[in-house]
């Protein structure tokens, strides 16, 4: 092989190497850029991630606040019911206690009434009559201030809600039939509620 030919071949090889090198580097750069783009695409945005976490936290807190509010409302409703129930029970207790006390004093009123009737028919001094009347009226006034009232029965139509018939008595007058002819024992109501029925004799 001649010297010129060998030189030409070496020159061609060098030119080919020069041409191939830029292409290879360019491909490498392109590949690297693609990898960078892919990495950038897959990488999460820290701001968006933070916002998502905050939104989730806000939702959790709102749910917790709603639950606490509901529990508070329920608790307040239960307490209000308990307070009303307790107040009602106290009133009932006081009312029952007052009723029992007043019921215990009714026989004393009966005795006062009997004493007055006896004194009116006796020849005892006026001072005894006045003293008994004074005690009776004071006791009655005090009990009336607590809600006690006498059941007005004499001459009224017989009413099973107020009266208790202990006897019947034949009466000639037609208008007196079915009415209270006589009161054997006085009846009383306390704040509109009957605590003792009036024991009466009914005309027939």
| Least confident residue range of 9-18, 25-34, 84-93, 117-126 | 9-18
pLDDT over 60 (residue 42): no
Summary mean pLDDT of the chain? 82
- Closest by alpha carbon to 191, among 163, 149, 161? 149
More confident of the two residues 28 and 140: 140
**Cβ within 8 Å of residue 171, ≥6 positions away:** 177, 181, 203, 204
The per-residue pLDDT for 18 is 45
Rounded percentage of the chain residues whose pLDDT exceeds 70: 78
Kindly list the structural domains of the chain, giving each domain's residue range(s) and its CATH number in brackets, ordered by start: 148-204 (2.30.22.10)
């Amino acid at each position: 092989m001649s010297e010129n030919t060998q030189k030409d071949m070496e020159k061609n090889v060098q030119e080919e190497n020069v041409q191939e090198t830029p292409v290879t580097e360019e491909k490498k750069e392109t590949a690297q850029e693609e990898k960078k783009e892919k990495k950038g695409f897959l990488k999460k945005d820290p701001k968006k991630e933070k916002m998502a976490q905050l939104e989730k936290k806000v939702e959790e807190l709102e749910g917790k606040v709603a639950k606490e509010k509901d529990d508070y409302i329920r608790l307040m409703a239960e307490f209000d019911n308990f307070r009303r129930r307790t107040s009602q029970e106290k009133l009932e207790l006081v009312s029952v206690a007052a009723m029992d006390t007043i019921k215990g004093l009714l026989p004393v009123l009966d005795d006062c009434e009997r004493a007055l009737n006896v004194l009116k028919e006796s020849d005892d001094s006026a001072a005894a009559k006045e003293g008994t009347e004074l005690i009776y009226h004071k006791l009655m006034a005090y009990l009336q201030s607590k809600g006690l009232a006498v059941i007005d029965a004499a001459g009224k139509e017989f009413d099973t809600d107020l009266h208790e018939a202990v006897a019947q008595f034949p009466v000639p007058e037609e208008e007196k039939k079915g009415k209270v002819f006589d009161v054997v024992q006085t009846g009383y109501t306390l704040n509109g509620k009957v605590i003792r029925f009036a024991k009466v004799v009914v005309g027939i």
